[in-house]
Structure 1
Amino acid sequence: MHPHIWYPFTQAKTALEPLKVKSAQGVWLELENGHKMIDCISSWWVNTYGHCHPKIAEAIYQQAQQLEQVIFAGFTHDPAEQLAEKLVAKLGAPFNRVFFSDNGSTAVEVGLKMAYQYWVNQGQARSTFLAFDGAYHGDTFGAMSVGARSLFSAVFSNLLFNVEFVPFPSTYWGDRTAEETEAKVLSILEKALDERGDRIAGVMIEPLVQGAGGMRMCRPQFLQKLRAIAQSFNTLLIFDEVMTGFGRTGDWFACHKAGVSPDILCLSKGITGGFLPFAVTVCSEEIYHAFYDDEPLKTLYHGHSYTANPLGCAAALAGLELMTEYEPQFRSMEAKHHAQLAQLKDHPAVEKLRVTGTIAAMDLVTQERSGYLNTISLEIRQRAIAKGLLLRPLGNVLYILPPYCIRDTELAQIYQGIGEILTDLSKDFLI
């Protein structure tokens, strides 16, 4: 461990020495010792188009020579205006207003504050949010509050505001109970809104895929019914698309794939293709109008020093162009995952195989309790590195989430390596 660095999500006393990456190109990382690895998880899900893409690098370079940063309160600039216009145009109705920030957790915080103050500005006291079991929305306090109470937030539990949680209708290949499960969840939601709807500010969900909660997936049909229920009870629907946005689900956005328009949308991660920290929270004109007033207290008092940073805007604009170029790849990857996963479906140590767009996942049946602390994760990580693969399982959940530039041969290499690892581990770790 470096003597002056505090690493994220790491218990320094017991952790292995971090690997030093010296360079990267496309899906490949090169370590200090020359060892090369395929980045199977897009480096925490951000490198949508591959590492060091020249188009984004050039856009940042050109922008840096003209305007690198300016205060965004009382000022504006072309990159921010162009990005807002292009995002709104691509997202479609009802999205019309873009609020800039700098990371996924903050995009969620802004979304929560928008939803809460939307009601306050109309004289309604709505202070409760509905969220889903297994959710993860980030590590700031509001984001932790609407996330499942877990290892990540346990120390801070007394500081989190109360949230009502309902089950998440996760499904997988061959799940014959999906519709029944969804009906039960929707019934719970309707009951909560019927009894306490005048106190509920909004419903927050990771649409189609819960990320850090274990790549748990739900069907578009559930989100469509959820949208209808939220509308019928006059509450706001918030989509956390920090991970699922920008092609991850096989469409530009999960809301597009599901055919659902939430009231508030949180975006980050892939927005700059992994080059710079950046985020936006997008909302409808109706929500924006609730803040548009002569009364100062109706202002959304939130901002950051680097709000709408021109370099980040330039990277995001280049990323939107690349989204069009890579659209055939992210739309076709689901079928490729299906073909590769089919070779593992009968493995006795694998269950609940599932795919949504560019994301494939499976549960490993181990001798330990399922969950984030399952030690199979570290075993797989170490064995994968030796095979030239960067895999980072979520406990006993193994997933693949590669950049869109990955070649078919490289994707096959990932699955071949996973198959070999599962065979090697079966004797000692897997049932």
Structure 2
Amino acid sequence: MSSLFQHLRIHQVFGANTNVGKTIFTTSLVRASALRGKKVFYLKPVSTGPLDDADDHHVNRYTTKYSSLITAECLFRYDEPVSPHLAVKLRDVESTRQPPSDATFIDSVANRIRIYAKSGNAPAHMYLETAGGVHSPTLSGTSQADCYRPLFLPTVLVGDSQLGGISTTISSYESLLLRGYTVDAVVLFHDDYYRNWEYLKPYFAERGVFLATVDHPPGKLADPLQDFASTDQYYESITSVESEGIRSVVDHLDKCHHHRLQDLESMPRRALDSIWWPFVQHGLVQGDKDVNVIDSAYADFFSVTNKNALADRSSTQSVLSPQYDGSASWWTQTFGHAHPSLTMAAAKASGRYGHVMFPQAVHLPALKLAERLLNGPGKGWASRAFFSDNGSTGMEVAIKMALRAFTTRQQHNLNNEEKKELGILGLKGSYHGDTIGAMDACEEGIYTCEWHESKGFWFDPPTVGIKDGEVLINIPASLASFSHSKTVKAESIAWVYEVENRINTPLARAYAMYVTRALEALNQRGGPVLAALVIEPILMGAGGMLFVDPLFQRVLVDTVRGRRSGASHRWSGLPVIFDEVFVGLNRIGVESTGPLLGVYPDISVNAKVLTGGLIPLAVTLTSQSIFEAFLSDSKAEALLHGHSYTAHPIGCEVANETLSMLDKLALSDEWIAAQGSWVKENGDQSPVWSLWDPNFVGEVSKLPQVKEVMALGSVLSIKVEDKAAGYTSQSAQTLFQPLYEPKAPDGILSSAPGGAPFGIHYRTLGDVAYFMTSLNTSVSVIRSIEDRIWETLTST
């Protein structure tokens, strides 16, 4: 992951093209740094072509007088003077050897950087020279811009001074920006014929990027000794104290390094003085040490400040450490952070549209997304897609739709006052967002506020968990008298989710009797008129990672509809809303929960995974019968609800790319292998599966400090033993606190990018700790996280 040291200033040198003088400029930077008495490290990760022409040899040849200060190395060397991805194939043409993977390549570079950093704590400089242009392939064939991104090294871009160089320089700069690189300086030759520098200097000045030029090197001379003397004299002229060119670049790079360290050091205090965090009690924040400073993020890892290394000016440790994003950044990350495909999708829509008004209009990204969702999670029941900003507002829309549909059908039985007091039927522990309407659809609890007025009735649901290797359905006290048991032992996880096979069991009949009698009692007490059923199907997230018995939710839907449910074409009884903001789109291993429950909603909401964690967007899907409740000749009877950024093209384009990538991921070897590990004993394919290893889940459930554990899809939930259970409990936070410390699990190599020891950023819900991967997290990373969790639990 990112490497940043107090004493070692590192810059990566990219070229806008081949033959732009990248090695000339890098050699000049090396000499200028050595001239100041700095220890200098030069690294050429990949070199192709004859050894005499190798760039690291060139650096050594023209820095002889500073040889005691300079180390120049190459990691991967190939004889053929071709692109690295071809060179490795040509060398191994007669063998079955595979080229080094991107992970192996980056680990090698990162390890070399750590060796340089540990060689001393005197101020030093390092320059890493890439090969060819920004998008030239690495050994695996991956673009350099993507391959090197996990290291997140500040960059010097060598511009192109030749014909067409303005375009290649700007294009290279924009390619680096799109991948998050910080370009500290642009350098190029001062060519008086094409005069590219004359155009590029103000261009980059407007963007706050430093640009410097130097004269072209002399032409190659036939006599080797004369050529050496001529070239050496050139380097002397552009790096001397009297020269402004390269010396000014080195000064600027030093300032950039210093300012970056200053920012990282000051950010905690500045944040404490200016930011009001969500879900944080500021009275419990004890100071700068409690602020997690995220410098960058890539794949499944944050790059965060190592506060000890930052405070110790003599430290040879990296100021930055990898930290696994154990909550998928509030359940949004789908393919990890900074995925270039999603970034490009956002840039494409931004460049084509920006944002455009949506009422009675259409643009291709929104249309394609609506059609994709209607034929995906909405297949068989939904006919319309309504766009909004995020999960909470998507749920507000859903509730408004359901209440209108109900009042339209019941208009002769309801007066205006009764319409204003309509209630919601749901489950205890529900959470649908923090807007007032979404809060009103939940029982009063920890998330509500002064304006909240809970309107409705909420059942205490039976839940599923694994304890001591056994799958148990935990029956709440209010229901126990109907089921005659507080727990029901399940045959397996797969059996729990085979709802159709359980629908005629005694437990299903007990659930139906409990629901029916509770609703009858509510009606007799003169409770609120219930106008919609709102549930988080399968898994209730913010309420404590409650894995609800799917049979109960199926029975609940059937009961309120007054019939056995399949596809919902005309709603009956009460409109049914599925809040799939958290669980939808494969977060728990299925695209939609309808097929798992054997019942479809009248309205559903998708968000979070929808845009891969890159940008907010929500879509509320609805059946035709709900849509028709708003059809009229009167404008006042329309759905008068909208947001300034409704169906914004950037969000829609990113969502389309996300769904396309999900379709491919569903066919990947990784998913197929994970699904296979959860196959039932009789050999049939299980309807549910997880990226977490089933043996790990079972063994964790046997630990004495664990009350129960459960896993579906990318979600792992561990409930700890705690007499003071609930959201305000600190038991899970305390138990898993060691996970924050950067380290590799005992006896194995780190699986973080760059091979560095890593910490785990996780969140708790009182006595519940949950861990969540991206949907494409590698098997090696997941196994490493499991090892860290096991190590933490067994060492307490």
Give the TM-score, by structure 1 length: 0.92
Match of 1:225 in 2: 555
CA distance in 2, matches of 1:371, 1:180: 31
78-87 vs 339-348, greater mean Cα deviation: 339-348
Task: Select which of 360, 370, 373 maps to 1:87.
Answer: 373
What do residues 163-216 of structure 1 show as CA deviations (whole Å, max 9, x unaligned)?
A: 211111212122153477765554343235456499321111110001011111
Contact 2:511 2:555 in 1 (8 A): no
Match for 2:281 among 6, 11, 18? 11
Deviation at 1:12, TM superposition (A): 1.6
- Aligned equivalents of 1:336 and 1:23: distance in 2? 26
After TM superposition, give the deviation of residue 105 of structure 1 in Å. 0.9
Shift of 1:79: 0.9
2:445 equivalent among 135, 150, 160: 150
C-alpha separation between the residues in 1 aligned to 2:442 and 2:709?
Answer: 24
CA drift of 1:318 comes to 0.5
1:273 aligns with 2:612: yes
1:50 paired with 2:344, answer no
Judged with a 3 Å threshold, the aligned counterparts in structure 2 of structure 1 residues 285 and 302 are, in CA distance, closer, same or farther, namely same
- What code does the residue aligned with 1:59 have? A
Is the contact between residue 26 and residue 405 of structure 1 (CA under 8 Å) also seen in structure 2? Answer: no
Deviation at 1:390, TM superposition (A): 1.4
**Separation (CA, whole Å) in 1 of partners of 2:628 and 2:320:** 55
Amino acid at match of 2:707: E
Indicate the residue corresponding to 2:398 in structure 1. 111
Paired position in structure 2 for 1:98: 385
Whichever residue aligns with residue 694 of structure 2, its letter is: H
2:603–2:620: 8 Å Cα contact kept in structure 1?
Answer: yes
Comparing 391-400 and 279-288, the one that deviates more: 391-400
1:164 aligns with 2:451: no
* 2-structure distance, mates of 1:376, 1:77: 50
Compared with structure 1, are the counterparts of its residues 396 and 198 closer, same or farther at alpha carbon in structure 2 (3 Å cutoff)?
closer
Task: Name 2:697's counterpart in structure 1.
Answer: 341
Aligned to 2:360: 74
Cα deviation 1:359-401 (Å, max 9, x = unaligned): 22121013x5011111224325642210411111211112222
Measured in 2, the distance between the counterparts of 1:413 and 1:180 equals 42
Aligned equivalents of 2:534, 2:699: Cα separation in 1: 36
User: Contact (CA 8 Å) 2:336, 2:776: kept in 1 or not?
Assistant: yes
Asked if the contact 1:68/1:311 (under 8 Å) is kept, the reply is yes
Structure 1 residues 340 and 361, CA gap change in structure 2 (3 angstroms):
same
* SS, match of residue 323 in structure 1: helix
Task: Report the counterpart of residue 779 of structure 2 in structure 1.
Answer: 408
Q: 2:728 aligns with which of 368, 373, 389?
A: 373
Deviations 1:57-93 (A, max 9, x none): 1111111110010111232211111110110011202
User: Counterpart in 2 of 1:417?
Assistant: 788
Post-superposition offset of 1:350: 0.6
**How many residues align structurally?**
422
Q: 1:296 to 1:13 in 2, by over 3 A?
A: same
What's the counterpart of residue 28 of structure 1? 301
- How far apart, CA to CA, are the structure 2 residues paired with 1:185 and 1:45? 31
1:392 aligns with 2:763: yes
Q: Residue in 2 aligned with 1:360? A: 716
Confirm or deny: 8 A CA contact 1:111 1:264 kept in the other structure: yes
Contact 1:129/1:204 (CA < 8 Å) preserved in 2?
yes
Contact 2:304 2:320 survives alignment (8 Å): yes
Shift of 1:259: 2.8
> How many angstroms does 1:13 deviate by?
2.5
Q: 1:211 to 1:183 in 2, by over 3 A?
A: farther
- Contact kept, 8 Å, 1:45 with 1:401, in 2: the verdict is yes
Distance 1:140 1:187, change over 3 A: farther
SS at match of 1:10: coil
Partners of 1:89 and 1:400 in 2: how far apart? 31
Structure 1 residues 393, 181: CA separation in 2 closer, same or farther (over 3 Å shift)? farther
* Structure possessing the higher radius of gyration over alpha carbons: 2
**1:128 pairs with one of 423, 426, 445:** 423
Q: Residues 4, 181 of structure 1: CA spacing in aligned structure 2 closer, same or farther, 3 A cutoff?
A: farther
Aligned mates of 1:139, 1:202 — CA distance in 2: 19
Distance in 2, Cα, partners of 1:138 & 1:184 = 31
* CA–CA distance in structure 1, aligned partners of residues 330 and 293 of structure 2: 16
- Aligned partner of residue 275 in structure 2, secondary structure: coil
The one-letter code sitting in structure 1 at the alignment partner of 2:402 is: A
The amino acid of 2:702's aligned partner reads D
RMSD (Å) for aligned C-alpha atoms: 2.2
TM alignment of 1:269-308, pairs within 5 A: 269-308=608-647
Question: How far apart, CA to CA, are the structure 2 residues paired with 1:411 and 1:263?
Answer: 37
Q: Which has the higher contact order (CA 8 A, sep 6+)?
A: 1
Query: In structure 2, which of residues 649, 652, 663 is the aligned counterpart of residue 324 of structure 1?
Result: 663
Q: Percent identity?
A: 29
Q: 1:264 to 1:253 in 2, by over 3 A?
A: same
1:265-320 deviations in whole A, cap 9, x for unaligned?
01111110000011111110110011011122321111100010100001100011
For 2:769 and 2:297, the matched residues in 1 are separated by 23
**Partner-residue secondary structure (3-state), 2:323:** strand
Equivalent residue of 2:703, what SS?
coil
Instruction: Return 5+ residue gaps in structure 1 as ranges.
Output: 427-431
More displaced stretch, 351-360 vs 267-276: 351-360
Q: Distance in 2 between matches of 1:224 and 1:5?
A: 43
Q: Distance in 2 between matches of 1:145 and 1:168?
A: 19
Residues of 1 paired with 2:508 and 2:321: CA distance?
A: 46
The offset of 1:236, in angstroms, is: 1.2
In structure 2, distance between residues paired with 1:170 and 1:21? 36
Which stretch shifts more, 405-414 or 9-18? 9-18
- Distance of aligned partners of 1:301 and 1:88 in 2 relative to their CA distance in 1, 3 Å threshold: same
Give the structure-2-normalised TM-score. Answer: 0.51
More deviation, 72-81/334-343: 334-343
Q: Which moved more, 1:368-377 or 1:108-117?
A: 368-377
SS in 1 for 2:426: strand
User: Which residue identity does 1:374 align to in structure 2?
Assistant: S
Partner of 1:429: none
Do 2:424 and 2:441's aligned partners in 1 also have CA atoms closer than 8 Å?
yes
Q: Residue 113 of structure 1: SS of its match in structure 2? A: helix
Residue 297 of structure 1: SS of its match in structure 2? helix
Alpha-carbon distance in 2 for matches of 1:37, 1:159: 37
Distance 1:11 1:37 in 2: 23
Q: Distance in 2 between matches of 1:417 and 1:63?
A: 41
Distance 2:551 2:711 in 1: 16
C-alpha spacing 1:146/1:116, structure 2 compared with 1 (3 Å): same
> Match for 1:162: what amino acid?
K
Provide the rounded CA distance (Å) in 2 between the counterparts of 1:159 and 1:374.
Answer: 23
In the alignment, the residues of structure 1 paired with residue 281 and residue 603 of structure 2 have an alpha-carbon distance, to the nearest angstrom, of: 35
Larger deviation: 109-118 or 144-153? Answer: 144-153
